[in-house]
């Protein structure tokens, strides 16, 4: 047999990304915001999402990449900041300055995150193989799950949902790559 001559393109979260996600364990999530949302066929999407942690924000976005043979794939990015991504925010007064959308509100008490799972996709076309993180699934103390994942139908868009049917659909064909507890 011949040797495998495929080119592998890897767009997975870095160790720094995992460290950023790990700070959510034990923290309460209050709301998930977006600079705007699109809603179609039960899918809520935006160019970015920001999770309010009470003190600070965990931001998510996606970057579109392409192989030399024009195969599209995506880089899911996460980072912590003092402000939500894409939303004008007054840090001093802790208030949003322009309209934004929030997807769900867990009230003043918030929901404590107990576990986070990261799921990847692995795809191969001709001599190119792509590995990229597709979804981050959060588990809260009250049984609530929500995910933020790449919306492959729209370049650089993400989807966020608490709907179990959509989460289950998104888990089809993906590989658990990391669990954070």
pLDDT in tens, 5-53: 579 999 999 999 999 999 999 988 877 888 888 887 767 899 999 988 7
CA 86 vs. chain centroid, Å, equals 15
- Do the domain assignments include residue 57? yes
- Do the domain assignments include residue 74? yes
- Do the domain assignments include residue 1? no
- Do the domain assignments include residue 102? yes
> Which candidate, 1, 7, 143, 20, places its Cα nearest to that of 76?
20
- Do the domain assignments include residue 23? yes
- Do the domain assignments include residue 2? no
- Identify the bridge partners of residue 60 per DSSP, sorted by sequence position: 49, 78
Low-confidence ranges of the chain (pLDDT < 50): 1-3
Quick check: 39 and 136 in contact, CB under 8 A?
A: no
- HSE (CB half, 13 Å, CA atoms) of 47? 7
- Do the domain assignments include residue 58? yes
Look at residue 4 in the predicted model and tell me its pLDDT.
52
Domain that holds residue 111: 7-180
Q: What is the pTM of this model?
A: 0.88
Look at residue 3 in the predicted model and tell me its pLDDT.
45
All residues at 6 or more sequence positions from 57 whose CB lies less than 8 Å from its CB, including other chains = 50, 51, 80, 81, 82, 83, 84, 85
Look at residue 102 in the predicted model and tell me its pLDDT.
64
- HSE (CB half, 13 Å, CA atoms) of 50? 22
Angle, CA of 162, 10 and 179, to the nearest 5°: 40
Look at residue 77 in the predicted model and tell me its pLDDT.
93
> Which candidate, 68, 62, 58, places its Cα nearest to that of 20?
58
Number of domains in the chain: 1
């Amino acid at each position: 047999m011949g040797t495998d001559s495929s080119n592998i393109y890897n767009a997975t979260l870095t160790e720094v990304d995992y460290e950023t996600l790990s700070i959510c364990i034990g923290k309460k999530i209050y709301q998930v915001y977006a600079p705007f949302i699109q809603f179609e066929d039960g899918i809520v999407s935006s160019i970015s999402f920001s999770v309010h942690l009470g003190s600070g924000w965990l931001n998510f976005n996606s970057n579109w990449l392409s192989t030399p043979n024009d195969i599209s794939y995506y880089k899911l990015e996460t980072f912590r900041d003092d402000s939500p991504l894409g939303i004008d925010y007054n840090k001093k007064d802790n208030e949003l300055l322009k309209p934004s959308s929030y997807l769900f509100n867990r009230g003043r008490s918030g929901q404590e995150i107990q576990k986070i799972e990261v799921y990847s996709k692995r795809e191969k076309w001709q001599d190119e193989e792509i590995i990229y993180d597709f979804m981050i699934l959060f588990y809260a103390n009250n049984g609530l799950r929500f995910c933020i994942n790449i919306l492959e139908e729209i370049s650089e868009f993400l989807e966020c949902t608490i709907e179990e049917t959509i989460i289950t659909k998104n888990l089809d064909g993906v590989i658990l790559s990391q669990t954070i507890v």
